Structure 1
Amino acid sequence: MPDVEREERMLIGGRLVPASGGGAFPNLNPATGREIGVTADGTAADMDAAIAAARAAFDGTGWADDPAFRVRCLRQLQEALTENAETLRAALVAEAGAPVALTHGAQLDIPLEGLGWVAGLAEDYAWVTDLGIAEPYGIRTHRYLRREPFGVVGAITPWNFPMQINLAKVGPALAAGNTVILKPAPDTPWTATLLGRLAAERTDIPPGVLNVVTSSRHEVGRQLTEDERVDMVSFTGSTATGRAVMRAGAASIKKVFLELGGKSALVALDDANLKKAVGNAAFQITTHAGQGCAILTRLVLPRSRYEEGLEMLVETLRGWPYGDPADPGNLMGPLISERQRERVLGLIATGAREGARVALGGGVPDHLPGGFYVEPTVLADVHPDATVAQEEIFGPVLAVLAHDGDDDAVRIANNSRYGLSGMVISESAERARAVADRIRTGTISVNGGLFYGADVPFGGYRQSGVGRESGVAGFEEYLEIKSIAEAA
């Protein structure tokens, strides 16, 4: 991997600036635990300036009224990001601990392609829909619908897939005609500040249309959710923080989009190819060390084949390669921080106290003394109501449960306050689809199919969130609908 290119400055009102108070916070490499640089520690004054710039750009420029110009700017941004892909790739590996192999997919390359898809959607989108002539109360009226941007959008993003989620919010919001303040997670600031720099230096995006404010302070993000000048907040993160965002937005009745947690189930029916089920489960739980909201973290095996499947899983994971994320052979790297590692280890211990059997792993690997690693871990004999079957762990920990037939498998899969994703495996595609149809999740895979793509709406039921990201539905989250009636 090349050396990491640092961008310590924020983007506010079209200018790359340090924090107003001169402060900075450290950026750590989770694979080593060492500091790799610093980033501007934005203040309340900086966030206020960014909101003011975004408000002025929306209210005082033609950005909202010129789709062709927006499309051109987005394509300029895509070109700039693509030309600097190796710089962004190095930053993702260094600050997020993202395995470099994953940056050729969902961590970077696919989101860069997706930005072009969003530009194409905006270019061809039907901004006005003609409803024709009607005569309510005898008044001949021509009715039509006009799609318009919300206004100022606050985008708050997490650390696990930072570039993918930054672009999933910034791209559609800008394409729809909004102005944006991006507040990235303090664990992964450079993927956002590099995005801001390229937008400022390589595109015609007007000053104030896109702003990037980095900060280690939670109150700066809360400020974005509370300010009445912000018309919409788009948040991805934990369900607990999502509740706080929703409460903060309620005071001004702003629109709140939430993409939150998950505790998704991989259900193997009694006729399933266990090798396929176990292979999918092993890949899911080790990908980026299990740090993904849609990762399948519960494996639900038929009771009649439970021990067979469990033994196959343990043997599959026993020799699983993990370690340095810069090694292309590793799909599993470190957790993001020591705090997150302690949380994951604590939940493993809770699982054992509640009766789960630690069939594999459960601790810190001896061969990786530096960084924030946890062993791939299998918890067997997990009760459906146990903490580790209900709580999002966000680590390489798989809970294995037994089911007694299709109805019981559906009951177990739906026994969650979340409803984000899932998978069903059966030798009968028809049977798998029938079970998948009964599982209450926003996305689901049948026999290993992949739902991920720029054109596919992503989001969940229940406490997994409100709204959808990506696809036409995700684009329309950033649009208001104005109904117009004109005397004919």
Structure 2
Amino acid sequence: MAQPLPPLRPDTASRLLIDGTLIPGSGGTFDVLNPATEEVLGRAAEATAADMDQAIAAARRAFDATDWSRDHAFRARCLRQLRDALLLHAEELRELTVAEVGCPTFLTHGPQLIGPITDLGYFADLAENHDWTVDLGEASPMGIKNRRELRSEAVGVVGAITPWNFPHQINFAKIGPALAAGCTVVLKPAPDTPWCAALVGRVIAEETDFPPGVVNIVTSTDHGLGEQLCTDPRVDLISFTGSTATGRKVMAAAAPTLKKVFLELGGKSAFIVLDDADLGAACSMAAFSVVTHAGQGCAITTRLVVPRAQFDDAVAATRNALSGLAADDPTKAGTVCGPLISARQRERVEGYLRLAVEEGGTIEIGGGRPADKEKGFYIEPTLISGVDNSSRVAQEEIFGPVLVILPHDGDQDAIDIANDSPYGLSGAVWGTDPGRIDAVVNGVRTGTMSVNGGIWYSADVPFGGYKQSGIGREMGEAGFSEYLEIKSVARPV
């Protein structure tokens, strides 16, 4: 049975996991900040290009020279070992996650910690239960009788590049199915949240049977290491989550080696309220959604699209709901909106708030830093009215607790507004008439839709988007298949 991790100290997290060994970064260390207090929590390992090269070599060797990709039962056992060990460390990981990510504590009982850890069991089940060989029966092409079969095989070495907003969820949504499929992994986590990955690396090294090189975790502030993963011919697939702008660079960097690329990118999702909906309930849910984790989620609905005849009432209801959802200490019970991740991110959001006014918008509530917060990267929950859907604040991903409210002139107009976006990641609709709701669900071009508060997040539900929200799907069997190649085999009979 795993023993509890010792109290968190900089030396316990400041290690890279490369080839089964926890080692210091060749570049020294870098500061890890608490976004709620702006205090330095400690230091993380600063990897260099040489460290990344070593990690890629280890992953390549583990894939090519061992039977990891073929031993499905062993892979499943290792994944369950990791799940169980992490659950034993849940309370320390919870404290670490809230401190490093700035997420409200309540989210660690779901998608910020426990949910993603538990999901590792689902991926283990996929490793055991997938039909690795499928018999296609006999056929006689050109008069020659053959028996055919399809074999699923691991893609190879996976480079996983992840952001800071939901580090555990996104890290495990990549390494879980990749390992279940038989791949080996080099994980490059965001420099804002290195410890969430580094301590998982420690558990892998000390409390599981993962062979050396199967999982490598490389923390660094050098974004060039992500580009190194993308361009290295020893890497077979890049799985990236982040901004659409960076996604384009990832795609371009990977193109010369023609490696497979999975991209989960930005969103500007619409929350559509039909004229037969409970307006107060819908606006309250839209307000709650946009301030959750300070709006730092790509699938959060940030455009509230309401019937024009009910617009003033919707503004009042949303403003009232936001007034009860103040930005506050993420460790405090009841907090939904914590801080933004960094001073840089807060400045970016503040730039959009200034832009909203320049575009003719009205700040209905919020719009600045909370007066009672001298420290921490906080922004007040904000509602913007008076702009149309062509405005930049309605078209561009802000990644803060900022909601833009827009009027629509009927169901089809609401669909058109939702689709008038470069993105297509998520969305929501509230109404009463099942036929009208279904027409909206069918009409909006987006990867996920919530109906009247329905929750689509689950290990078995594919997640991804249309248009500039990405390429491919994560989670579910569709996400698992991203890490597989199909080999067709025929033999004469």
| 1:429 Cα deviation after fit | 2.3
State whether structure 2 residue 446 is matched by structure 1 residue 441.
yes
The answer to whether the Cα contact below 8 Å between 1:433 and 1:446 also exists between their aligned partners in 2 is no
Give 2:227's aligned residue: 222
State whether structure 2 residue 25 is matched by structure 1 residue 19.
yes
The answer to whether the Cα contact below 8 Å between 1:226 and 1:252 also exists between their aligned partners in 2 is yes
Aligned alpha-carbon RMSD (Å): 1.0
**TM-score of the pair, normalised by structure 1:** 0.98
Match of 1:10 among 5, 16, 19: 16
Paired residue type of 1:259: E
1:319 & 1:283 partners in 2: Cα distance? 10
Once the two structures are overlaid, the 10-residue window that deviates more, 321-330 or 443-452, is 321-330
State whether structure 2 residue 342 is matched by structure 1 residue 337.
yes
State whether structure 2 residue 435 is matched by structure 1 residue 430.
yes
| 1:271 Cα deviation after fit | 1.2
The answer to whether the Cα contact below 8 Å between 1:381 and 1:402 also exists between their aligned partners in 2 is no
1:307-318 matches, within 5 Å, as: 307-318=312-323
The answer to whether the Cα contact below 8 Å between 2:284 and 2:317 also exists between their aligned partners in 1 is no
Paired residue type of 2:329: D
| 1:421 Cα deviation after fit | 0.4
How many residue pairs get aligned? The number is 486
The answer to whether the Cα contact below 8 Å between 1:64 and 1:178 also exists between their aligned partners in 2 is yes
The answer to whether the Cα contact below 8 Å between 2:184 and 2:215 also exists between their aligned partners in 1 is yes
| 1:121 Cα deviation after fit | 1.6
State whether structure 2 residue 162 is matched by structure 1 residue 157.
yes
The answer to whether the Cα contact below 8 Å between 1:63 and 1:177 also exists between their aligned partners in 2 is yes
Paired residue type of 2:340: L
Give 1:245's aligned residue: 250
Secondary structure class of the residue paired with 2:98 = helix
Secondary structure class of the residue paired with 1:63 = coil
Match of 1:82 among 71, 87, 95: 87
Match of 2:106 among 91, 97, 101: 101
State whether structure 2 residue 293 is matched by structure 1 residue 288.
yes
Give 2:269's aligned residue: 264
Secondary structure class of the residue paired with 2:131 = coil
The answer to whether the Cα contact below 8 Å between 1:18 and 1:40 also exists between their aligned partners in 2 is yes
1:437-476 matches, within 5 Å, as: 437-476=442-481
2:203 & 2:259 partners in 1: Cα distance? 30
**TM-score of the pair, normalised by structure 2:** 0.97
Q: Give unpaired runs (5+ residues) of structure 1.
A: none
The answer to whether the Cα contact below 8 Å between 1:268 and 1:277 also exists between their aligned partners in 2 is yes
Secondary structure class of the residue paired with 1:451 = coil
| 1:347 Cα deviation after fit | 0.5
Paired residue type of 1:25: F
Identity of aligned residues (%): 59
1:321 & 1:218 partners in 2: Cα distance? 34
2:472 & 2:333 partners in 1: Cα distance? 35
| 1:4 Cα deviation after fit | 4.3
Secondary structure class of the residue paired with 2:93 = helix
State whether structure 2 residue 476 is matched by structure 1 residue 484.
no
Paired residue type of 2:36: A
2:361 & 2:437 partners in 1: Cα distance? 28
| 1:462 Cα deviation after fit | 0.3
Once the two structures are overlaid, the 10-residue window that deviates more, 452-461 or 3-12, is 3-12
| 1:400 Cα deviation after fit | 0.4
1:32 & 1:118 partners in 2: Cα distance? 36
Paired residue type of 1:145: L
1:408 & 1:356 partners in 2: Cα distance? 21
Match of 1:324 among 321, 324, 329: 329
Q: Give unpaired runs (5+ residues) of structure 2.
A: 1-5
The answer to whether the Cα contact below 8 Å between 2:364 and 2:385 also exists between their aligned partners in 1 is yes
1:40-119 matches, within 5 Å, as: 40-119=45-124
Match of 2:217 among 212, 224, 230: 212
Paired residue type of 1:399: V
Give 1:401's aligned residue: 406
2:430 & 2:120 partners in 1: Cα distance? 32
Once the two structures are overlaid, the 10-residue window that deviates more, 391-400 or 320-329, is 320-329
2:92 & 2:263 partners in 1: Cα distance? 30
